[in-house]
Structure 1
Amino acid sequence: MPNPFKRVLKVSRKPDKEEYLEFSKIVAIGIAIIGAVGFVIVLIGELIGL
């Protein structure tokens, strides 16, 4: 049975600069959304006295 990890490494490639920047923007937007949701939850909790 062939090792699946070797196959993945064989067909994978290093992302170019444009692809890397696009991925970084998506990750940054996701982190910002999660942070904003957490902030709103804490703010609502403070306002209602939890």
Structure 2
Amino acid sequence: MRTGEAWPIAARRTQAVLALARRRVNVLWALLRDQRNYAPAPRPHTRPDA
């Protein structure tokens, strides 16, 4: 296959989506296992633009 063909891009996108989904599942599994609620990290304070 040549580099410019469309299917390798779709395959890489699918692989990336699956990797992100796997990370989410790992987090959800840990929350269920530890019987904890999701608590988002506090957002860093940024100064307003003047």
Alignment TM-score > 0.5, same fold: yes
CA RMSD, Structure 1 to Structure 2 (Å): 1.7
The structure with more radius of gyration: 1
Query: Could you tell me the TM-score, scaled by structure 2's length?
Result: 0.62
Question: Higher relative contact order by CA 8 Å / sep ≥ 6: 1 or 2?
Answer: 2
Would you tell me which structure has more helix in proportion to its own residues? Answer: 1
Q: Percent identity?
A: 3
> Is it true that 1:22 corresponds to 2:8 in the alignment?
yes
Q: Distance in 2 between matches of 1:29 and 1:37?
A: 13
Q: Distance in 2 between matches of 1:25 and 1:49?
A: 36
Unaligned runs of 5+ in 1: 1-15
Q: How many equivalent pairs are there? A: 34
Question: Which of structure 1's runs of 4+ aligned residues deviate more than 2 A?
Answer: none
